[in-house]
Every structure is written in structure tokens, then in C-alpha cells.
Structure 1
């Protein structure tokens, strides 16, 4: 989920290797990238730690175990485990605001994504209610990942698309050429960020050891380079009640007849 570029993926592997050493939990780091489905990863019986979006977590009938939530680095986040969706356009486009993109082609990731669908829809809902009709001539998706949203944008397949703000931070940190290729025209309200989960039947002792170790990430000297490479300040305990916001946003949009962002 948060390996949009090779350098970020390498940093996460280093972090999980540190986590295994310090916690004493034997973790095998595996690659699980697009086109593999995240739902298959979350269903693994031996899952130790993996990122899961709060929206599918709240919708799940058999929820994985909560481990810890990341606190991204930067003024947008205010030192909290939150994120937003950046609505981006091509740098050379004439769009200056989200309203300028209406009538064009809107990209989205997957329907069970908060950043790429639910938050996008919540942001557009007031405009939909004001116009009384669809805002875009076409919705393009599922694009699945932030990287593929950018690829669709640069290829001219969409005019505007949603990007998880933390994923975008990682891309800009390791691929600064993107700053000359895309522009942000709007940012959604903040919401609780995707967090690390373990398998639903993972033993309490394992979850406790993993969580306790991750909570030391902010001050561990060995993790100083990783904090920079991952644009990350800390990991903290998870407040699941805060993720009710995602269900409320979903219900509000559906209640207004705006089931799909378009």
C-alpha cells in the first residue's frame, strides 16, 4: 500500500527487518504488489504486519488484529495518525480548482478505498448536491493504486485523480521529478490513516510484542534514517472509534444518491 516507488519499498523492508529483530517475532517479508489483491493479503492466516485501509477494516465481518498506526511527517498531519486525499491534475493543464475539472474525466482507485473513493466522494458531495446531477462525463477505474492514478493522469486518460496524501509524500520524497508533472487543486478533510494489522487469530503475545516495538520507532536511534526515508515520525496505538467517520461519509453519500464519484 505504501510502496509506490522502489526506494520506499526498500525502506519498508528495512523497517520490518528491524521490527523482527527488536520484537523477537520471526517475520518473513514478502512482496504483494499490484495486480495482487490486498484482500488476499489481509486474509492470510499467518499475517504478522501489513497496512490496511480503515474503510475495508470497518466493513469487514472478520476484522484483522490492530497493531499500530503511522504518524506521517509534515504540517498537514499535526503529529497525529491522520491523512487526506490530494486531488491532482497535470502540471500543464489549465485547471486551477476542482470546479474547473467538472465535465472532464475523474479517476478513482477501488470502491473499498477510503482515500481513492470514499474521501473523494465525500469531498465532491456538496458540489453534486448543488448541481443536482453528475459532475463528470466519465469515471475511470478501478485504477487501484496511487502510482496508477498518476500514470493515468500523465497518459491523458483522466483529467483529475485522488492520491493518498502520505503515498504522495513518499513519491515526492523519492521521485522529486513529480513536482513538475502534477499539481494539487484540492485536499479533502482529514481522516484516520491506514494502519498495520495482523491476522485475525494472531496470538495476543505476538501482537503485543509487535505493537510495543513499533511504539519505540520514534526514538530508536537505528530508525533515524528510516524516519527520513519513510517521511514518518512515529507509530501509535489505534483508536478504532475514530474510523466510524468513514462509515458516516459512506452513508451520507449513499443517502444523497451519490454512490459512485462521478
Structure 2
């Protein structure tokens, strides 16, 4: 989910090797291509630590077991395990505000996504009215991933789109990344960040060993460079009730008859 650049992917691999050594749990990296639905990953019975968005987790039955959530290091996260959605446009576009993008084309990632769908819809809800029930001429998706949104913007297939703020920060940390061709016109309210989960059948002692290792990342001196590369402060335990916010945003939009960001 956050292996959005070559360096970030390499840093995550190094971090997982450290987690495996620290916890004593043998972890095997699973490649999950974007052509496959994320539910195919999250319903696997052999997950030891996989990133999962809070929106599908809160709707899953049974729910995978939370392990730990990342705390991004940039100041805008205020040292908390949260993230936002940046609504972005091309750097050379004439749009200066979110309202300028109305009447054009908005993109989204997946209906099951918090950052790429639910947060976007919740933010736009405040701009709708009886005389303006639709804000955009077109709603284009699914674009599947933040990289899909970046590509759609730069190819001019859409005029504005949502980006997971932590993923966007990681992209912009890489010199020459295509994401530098975008700029932010609005940012949503913060929400609890995606977290690592284990499959429900995973033994409790394995889950506890992994959680202990993740919680040790912040203070491990040997991980300083990896934390810097991942814009990561460390990890916290998952406070499950905080994810009720995502369902509340969903219910509010549906009660208003606003099913798809548009």
C-alpha cells in the first residue's frame, strides 16, 4: 500500500526483515498485483502483517486482527497515527481552489477505499446543495491506486483526484517522481490511518510477537535511516474504536443520497 516508490519499497523490505528477526516470526513477502482485488489479499488465511485500510476492515466479517499502525513523521500528522486525503490537480492547471474544479472531472480509486473514495465524498458533501446536487461533470473510476490517480491526472484523463496524504508525501520525497507534477487544492479532515493486520487464524503468540516488534521500531537506533526513508516516526497499537469515524462518514453521505463522489 505504501511501497509507492522504488526506495520506499526497498525500505519496507528492510523493515520487514528487521521485524522478522526481532519477532522471531518467519515472514515471506507476498506480491499482490494491482490487477487483483484487495479483498483477495485481505481474506487470505496466511497473513502475518499486511496493510489494510480501515474502511474495508470495519466492514469485514470476520475482521482480520489488528497488529500496529504507522505514525507518519511529517509535521502535519502531529505525531498521531492518522492521515488525510489531498485533493490534487496538475501543477500547470488553471485551478487554484477546490471550487474551481467543480464542473470538470473528478477521479476516485476504489469504492472500498477510505482515502480514495470515502474521505473525498465526505469532504465534497459540504459543497452540495439542493440547487447543486452534482459538483462534477464526470466521476471517473475505479483508478485503483494512488499511482492510478497520478497517471490519470498527468494524462489529462481527470482534472482532480484524491491521494492518500502519506502515499503522496512518500512520492514527493523521491526526486524526479511524477507526483512532483501535481499540487494540492484541498485537504480533508484527518482520519485513522491504515494498519497492519494478521489473518484471523494467526496464533495469538505470533500476533503478540509481531506487535512487540513493530512497537519497538521507533526507538531502534539501527532503523534511523529506514525511518527517515519512510517518513516514519514509528508504530502505535491500533485503537479500534477510532475507526468508527469512517462508518459515520459513509452513513452521512448515504443518508444525503450521495453515493459516488461527483
TM-score range, shorter chain: over 0.9
> Is residue 12 of structure 1 aligned with residue 12 of structure 2?
yes
Residues 150 and 178, structure 2, Cα contact 8 Å, conserved in 1: no
1:3 counterpart residue number: 3
- What is the CA–CA distance in structure 2 between the aligned matches of 1:129 and 1:249, rounded to whole Å? 18
* Structural mapping, 1:80-91, within 5 Å: 80-91=80-91
Deviations 1:33-64 (A, max 9, x none): 31122211111111100100000000111100
Aligned residues: 262
Aligned position for 1:242: 242
2:171/2:177 contact within 8 Å kept: no
Q: Give the whole-Å Cα distance in 2 for the aligned partners of 1:16 and 1:84.
A: 25
SS of the aligned residue for 2:129 comes to: helix
Q: Deviations over 1:113-147 (max 9, x none)?
A: 00000000000001113643210010010001001
Match of 2:142 in 1: 142
Secondary structure at the residue paired with 1:116? helix
SS in 2 for 1:30: coil
C-alpha separation in 1, matches of 2:160 and 2:20: 40
Normalised by the length of structure 2, the TM-score is 0.97
Long gaps (5+) in structure 2: none
Corresponding position of 1:256: 256
Match of 1:104 in 2: 104
Unaligned runs of 5+ in 1: none
- Give CA deviations for 1:15-40 in whole Å, capped at 9, x if unaligned: 11110011000101122131122211
Moved more, 175-184 or 48-57: 175-184
Q: Which residue of 1 aligns with 2:162?
A: 162
Map Cα deviations across residues 78-97 of structure 1 (whole Å, 9 max, x no partner): 00000000000000000000
Q: Deviations along 1:165-199, whole A, 9 cap, x unmatched?
A: 00001111124544641110000000000000000
Confirm or deny: 8 A CA contact 2:106 2:138 kept in the other structure: yes
The residue aligned with 1:93 is 93
Local SS of the residue matching 2:33? coil
Q: Tell me the SS of whatever aligns to 2:149.
A: helix
Distance in 2, matches of 1:102 and 1:77, equals 28
Once the two structures are superposed, the pairs formed by residues 180-259 of structure 1 within 5 Å of their partners are 180-259=180-259
CA contact (8 A) 2:171 2:179 kept: no
Residue correspondence of structure 1 range 113-152 to structure 2 within 5 A: 113-129=113-129, 131-152=131-152
Structure 1 residues 186-195 or 3-12, which shifts more? 3-12
Query: Taking structure 1 as the reference length, what is the TM-score of the superposition?
Result: 0.97
Q: Which SS does the other structure have where 1:149 is aligned?
A: helix
CA RMSD of aligned residues (A): 1.1
- The alpha-carbon deviation at position 231 of structure 1 amounts to 0.5
Give the whole-Å Cα distance in 2 for the aligned partners of 1:36 and 1:75. 34
Determine the C-alpha separation between the residues in 2 that align with 1:66 and 1:236.
11
Q: Take 1:162 and 1:138, find their aligned partners in 2: how far apart are those partners?
A: 15
- How far apart in 1 are the matches of 2:146 and 2:92? 20
